[in-house]
Amino acid sequence: MSSGWRRPWRRTHLGTEADRATFRTLHSASLASPALREGLTVDSAGRSIRHLRDLLGTPALALTDVDSLLAWDGIASHHEGQAAPIAQRTAEAGDTRVADRDEVDCGRPGCEIRAAVASPLVVEDRIVGTLQVYAPVATAGLVQAADEVAQWVSGQLDLAELDASRTRLMEAEVRALRAQISPHFIYNSLGAIASFVRTDPERARELLLEFADFTRYSFRRHGDYTTLAEELRSVERYLLLEQARFGDRLGVTLRIAPEVLPVTVPFLCIQPLVENAVRHGLTGESGHISIVARDLSQEALIEIEDDGAGNDPETIRRALAGDPSTDSVGLANVDARLRATFGDDYGLVVETAPGAGTKVIVRVPKFAAGVHA
Amino acid sequence: MTGAEVPSIVAVVLVAVATLAIGTWGLRFSRTTSDFFVASRTVRPALNASAIGGEYLSAASFLGVAGLVMAFGADMLWYPVGWTAGYLLLLALVAAPLRRSGAYTLPDFAEARLGSARVRAVCSVLVVAIGWLYLFPQFQGAGLTLEAALGAPRWVGPVVVGLVVLVNVMSGGMRSITFVQAFQYWLKLTALLVPALAMVLVWVGDGAPNPTDVAGVGDPGPLWSLPLGSGGGQGLYLTYSLIVATFLGTMGLPHVVVRFYTNPDGRAARRTTLVVLALLGFFYLLPPVYGALGRVYAASGTADVLVLELPRLVVGGVGGDLLTALVTGGAFAAFLSTSSGLSIAVAGVISQDVIGRSEHSGVTSFRLGAVVAVVVPCVLAVAAPDVGVARAVGLAFAVAASTFCPLLVLGIWWRGLTPAGAIAGLLAGFVGSGTGVAYSLRSSEATSWLAVLLSQPAAWSVPLAFATMWSVSRATPSQVPRHTPRFLVRLHTPEDLRLERGLERHV
């Protein structure tokens, strides 16, 4: 009687034996996946291999790149030395293969390992490594299983590659921003400085030093983040150089709450906006730029405003969406990086209308996990 | 109401209006404009230290200490000593690493250190609890002040201060403008210093009578000036408990930690703390002077409003009224600045971690948070008017010392801390000290050992929290966050050392 009601209970809660096997498999796979999503390295191989061996249920498992061992898990670690040659031959063959007997032979009488199945790991049609299953016999089932797991691992590594290329793209965009500053600005600044060399050598010297500091900051190679203080210092230098060129035509107001200066921001997230403001604000005879940074307790608010010709909101919307035909290239890039760093709540806000100037508002949280200069 | 109260009313109205005006139109004179190219000048340690002092010196410091010293003698000097020495521990153990962590609030630090949303949530609740417990005596002190100075009913003070703070915080003014808070420190110092000097002159003119010759309300005569004069074993326990609470509690106060963010780097954070020590040390010389003079001139007076009544009793006449007005204005400034800072800290946490950004825009949820942050302690102050101001602040310190102190100290100095350990320790410390708070708010009996243990819980609840946090962390070693070593390196490495700090990729 008791078994009469217990059986259905067990079935609904733990599932049949087959169900449970499936759950175990899925669980092992989910444990292995985060490490593999970082790409194939000694570290990630070491962290994922135990779960992959659980998945396959074999006595020993090896992960290699194309010519050396990355990680070994299981019994009989004296076979480790065989992994590299097997990997090289598998990479040459380009397909799952069962290792020859002499490749796995260790000469020890009690050793359980008598066979190995090696399956290539393929990322974007390129073999990056192998998964090697060591067992007493190489059955057809084992070959099949090794092949399937290798394909799944390849899929995870593909995703890792995707993540990496997304990051590379972002970095390339920052590099593009740095490069984009250069030609016109450098030419114009040097021209302006040259005009002071004879009339006011002292000022020319100061401007040159500012110019040197400005370029050093803009071309620095390390770090994705900086402090608002550093970024604003660079903006100041930029404006100083632009003022040398435009003289009284360019009016500037800065109102910065000192409390927000330590806030961490993405590198070059304010300067492109100021450049835009100068470019658009000076359409007429003269123009005024104002930069205001305010403290909102948990957040900092930075507003960059010009009194120039303004713009059609639709154009700005297209620029933010990434349309390259508009001349506000920096805008979309800054917006994308702010969102990528702080989340979608923290995109740029642009207030503009034809003839009414432009105001760009940047909001950044004072703290975001993992973001620091 | 007689003519003598007019200067005090003027002082209170002046302080309130000035605060509101700065909040509404202000901002501008904190950093005005077209002086180009000074934008990236950071806040200097001396200015930031004054601001910390301005926000920190609360009703308890301004009113409570003098009354306690008058009534209970030298033991009570541990309050000002502890409130100052708390910064010594902050300086030695926490200031620079906390700044280098990049955290703005205590929940931020917990999240950055342990990478756990659950620890963050627990910390947020604790920030709100400590904030309310600290705000409550501020509002209460306001009630006492207006009652003593203007003869207003007790509930008027909390309501007035609550309204002013609420309007201020909601209008977005007085957020945490360093300059304004720094000014508050010097205002409070002047408001105590000038009357104190005048009264000391009068006292010397009277032939400098010895305070210990007077039989006061508490300990009789000579015992007054002796530590542990009549306390016995319980007195010794209370003293040690007070020392633990105040020394370790300062680092866990939400509005203090927020200020350290303004420092550009860890070194500046240390220098700021050093200056704070000096500023507080100087300020806290004054309340004991009031206490001693109170012994001579107002031995039967009310402890909590001694500071307000003393100038009139000692100096008398128009001079006395003017000095009283100065002290009253200073006291009112003390409530406003401390409660503003705290309300902002609490409202920020409520809006960010409780209400959340998803449902309302940032401004709306911050305003909602501000209402909740101010109204709850305001109601508490009206409902429970008889808890001593300094004692209630002492309880806030006890809770802070039993919760955030272990989290900060172990989080900064021990790599074995785990999220489970942190939560267990925070809860143990909170339940322990919270029981004491609940008991103290309901009853003031303090003769049995149980009552004594509950009325000053820090001496046992702090070790309890440390032990729980340590042992649960040791029991869950697999939970140690993987970024711990890297994070600790960042906390403890001076900024001018070349070090790749941007290792944690986020993009």
Q: How far is B119 from chain A (nearest CA, A)?
A: 14
* pLDDT given for residue B444 in this prediction: 64
| Chain B residues in contact with A345 (beta carbon < 8 A) | 357
Which residue stretches of chain A are H helix?
2-14, 17-36, 42-56, 80-93, 101-104, 140-199, 201-218, 228-246, 271-281, 313-320, 329-342
Would you state the pLDDT for residue A247? 83
Of the candidates A252, A258, A340, which has its C-beta nearest B43's C-beta? A258
Check A371 against B177: CB less than 8 A apart: no
- Residue B108 with chain A: CB contacts under 8 Å: 366-367
CATH code reported for the domain at A2-164:
3.30.450.40
- Number of neighbours of residue A351 by Cβ within 10 angstroms: 15
Share of chain B above pLDDT 90, in %: 31
- pLDDT given at position A14: 61
- Please identify among residues 148-207 of chain A the ones whose CB lies closer than 8 Å to any CB of chain B: 167, 170
Q: What is the pLDDT of residue A278?
A: 87
Count of beta carbons in the 10 Å neighbourhood of residue A22: 12
Please, are residues B399 and B133 in contact by the beta-carbon 8 Å criterion?
Answer: yes
Pick the CATH number of A222-365 from 3.40.50.1000, 3.40.50.300, 3.30.565.10, 1.10.230.10: 3.30.565.10
Least confident of A101-110, B270-279, B304-313, B331-340: A101-110
The per-residue pLDDT for B31 is: 42
Question: Partners of A289 in the beta sheet?
Answer: A252, A306
Q: What is the mean pLDDT of residues B176-190?
A: 82
- Using CA atoms, how far apart are residues B11 and B326, in angstroms rounded to an integer? 7
Residue B166 has pLDDT above 80, yes or no: yes
- Distance of alpha carbon B135 from alpha carbon B343, whole angstroms: 8
Kindly determine whether residue B104 and residue A261, on different chains, have CB atoms separated by under 8 Å. no
pLDDT tops 50 at residue A1: no
Residues of chain B found within 8 Å of residue A240, distances taken between Cβ atoms: 37
Q: With an 8 Å Cβ cutoff, is A230 touching chain B? A: yes
CA pair distance A318, A336, nearest whole angstrom? 13
Q: Which residues, numbered 254 to 293 in chain A, qualify as contacts with chain B under a Cβ-Cβ cut-off of 8 Å?
A: 254-259, 261-262, 264, 291, 293
Residues in B closer than 8 angstroms to A206, CB to CB, are none
Dmax (CA) for chain A in angstroms is: 108
Say how many C-beta atoms besides its own lie within 10 A of residue A246's C-beta.
Answer: 17
Q: Average pLDDT of chain B?
A: 83
State pLDDT tens for residues A3-20: 444 454 555 566 788 888
The C-alpha of B133 sits at a distance from chain A's nearest C-alpha, in angstroms, of: 21
- A143 in contact with chain B, both atoms CB, cutoff 8 A: no
**pLDDT one-digit tens code per residue, B202-234:** 988 887 777 776 655 555 566 777 776 666 778
| Cβ atoms B137, B377 nearer than 8 A | no
**Residues 6+ positions from B307 with CB-CB distance below 8 Å:** B62, B63, B66, B67, B192, B287, B290, B327, B331
Query: What per-residue confidence (pLDDT) applies to B82?
Result: 92
Contacts (Cβ under 8 Å, ≥6 apart) of A148: none
ipTM for this prediction: 0.82
**Highest mean pLDDT out of B140-144, B335-339, B477-481:** B477-481
- Across-strand partners of A226? A265
User: Which band of pLDDT confidence, cut at 50, 70 and 90, is reported for residue B33?
Assistant: very low
**Interval B234-290: pLDDT, tens:** 888 888 999 999 999 999 898 888 888 888 888 899 999 999 999 999 999 999 999
User: B37, B43, B119, B507: best mutation site toward chain A, by most A Cβ within 10 Å?
Assistant: B507
- B79, B87, B23, B102: which is closest to B52 by C-alpha? B87
The single-letter DSSP state of residue A186 is H
Say yes or no to pLDDT of A183 above 80. Answer: no
Determine which of A210-214, B52-56, B74-78, B500-504 has the lowest per-residue pLDDT on average: B500-504
| A295 contacts B504? CB cut-off 8 A | no
Which domains can be identified in chain B, with CATH numbers? 3-24+42-389 (1.20.1730.10)
The one-letter code for the residue type at A257 is: A
Q: Which of residues 328-367 of A touch B (CB under 8 A)?
A: 337, 340-341, 345, 363, 366-367
pLDDT, position B335? 84
Contact B506 A341 (CB under 8 A): yes
Q: Which chain A residues are Cβ-neighbours of B258 within 8 angstroms?
A: 297
Q: How many CB pairs under 8 A join A and B?
A: 127
Cβ distance of B39 and A236 shorter than 8 Å: yes
Q: Cβ contact (<8 Å) for B105 and A240?
A: no
pLDDT of residue B85: 93
Residue with tokens 């990051």: A167
Q: Nearest by CB to B176, from A167, A230, A297: name it.
A: A297
- Residues of chain B contacting A262 with CB distance shorter than 8 Å: 42, 261-264
Pick from B180, B178, B167: nearest CA to B343: B167
Please give the full DSSP string across A59-76, using - where no structure is assigned.
SEEEEEESSSEEEEEES-
Distance from CA of A162 to the nearest CA of B (A): 13
CB contact under 8 A, B262 and A341: no
Q: Which residues from A are below 8 Å from B119, CB to CB?
A: none
**What residue of A is the nearest CA neighbor of B107?**
A367
- Please state the rounded mean pLDDT for residues B118-137: 92
Residue of A nearest to B352 (CA): A298
Using pLDDT thresholds of 50, 70 and 90, give the confidence band for residue B3.
Answer: low
- Answer with the residue of higher pLDDT: A171 or B473: B473
Looking at residue B1, its pLDDT comes to 45
Query: Please, what's the b/e burial string for B189-224 (b: 16 or more CB within 10 A of its CB; e: otherwise)?
Result: bebbbbbbebbeebbeeeeeeebbebebebbeeeeb
What confidence tier does B17 reach under pLDDT thresholds 50, 70, 90? Answer: confident
When pLDDT is averaged across residues B3-17 and rounded to a whole number, the result is: 80
Q: Is the dihedral of CA B382, B384, B385, B388 positive or negative?
A: negative
Per-domain residue ranges of chain A = 2-164, 222-365
A300 φ/ψ angles, rounded to the nearest 5 degrees: -115, 145
